[in-house]
């Protein structure tokens, strides 16, 4: 028999949303400007109108599975593990793809 866990909702009091255009050349995630601290969560969504997947990873990310990157097909959204600002990169096999990046900070910070 497993123990029951209680989940406490987290309240976020600050957020920033940034749109990033991604193409065939690696681009850095924009650095958030709302707060100087690293956000508690980063949510990333690929625009539904995109025509190709976007791959998110560290420097050297490729538009395939060779670098262990997260794939964002059109319309997909994921929470991306928190890293130092500017570490995350994105690339696609097609120009003009769009990611919406949302940085969230807890109210206690």
Q: What pLDDT, on a 0 to 100 scale, did the predictor assign at position 83?
A: 61
Q: How much is the average pLDDT of 15-33? A: 88
Calculate the average pLDDT of the chain: 84
Q: How much is the average pLDDT of 59-68? A: 86
Cβ neighbours for 96, distance < 8 A, ≥ 6 positions apart = 21, 23
Say how many domains are in the chain: 1
In a domain, 91, yes or no: yes
Cα dist from 89 to 9, 31, 62, 102, whole Å: 30, 11, 10, 15
47 or 41: which leads in pLDDT: 47
d(CA 2, CA 20): 43
Domain extent at residue 58: 19-30+39-106
CATH number at residue 59: 2.60.120
Q: What pLDDT, on a 0 to 100 scale, did the predictor assign at position 85?
A: 58
d(CA 33, CA 47): 22
In a domain, 94, yes or no: yes
């Amino acid at each position: 028999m497993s123990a029951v866990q209680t989940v406490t909702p987290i309240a976020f009091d600050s957020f920033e949303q940034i749109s990033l255009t991604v193409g065939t050349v690696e681009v850095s995630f924009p650095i958030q400007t709302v707060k100087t601290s690293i956000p508690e969560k980063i949510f990333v969504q690929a625009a539904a109108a995109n025509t190709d997947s976007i791959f998110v990873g560290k420097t050297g990310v490729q538009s395939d599975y060779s670098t262990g990157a997260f794939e964002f097909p059109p319309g997909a959204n994921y929470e991306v593990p928190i890293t130092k600002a500017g570490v995350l990169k994105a690339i696609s096999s097609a120009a003009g793809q769009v990611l919406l990046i949302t940085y969230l900070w807890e109210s206690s910070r």
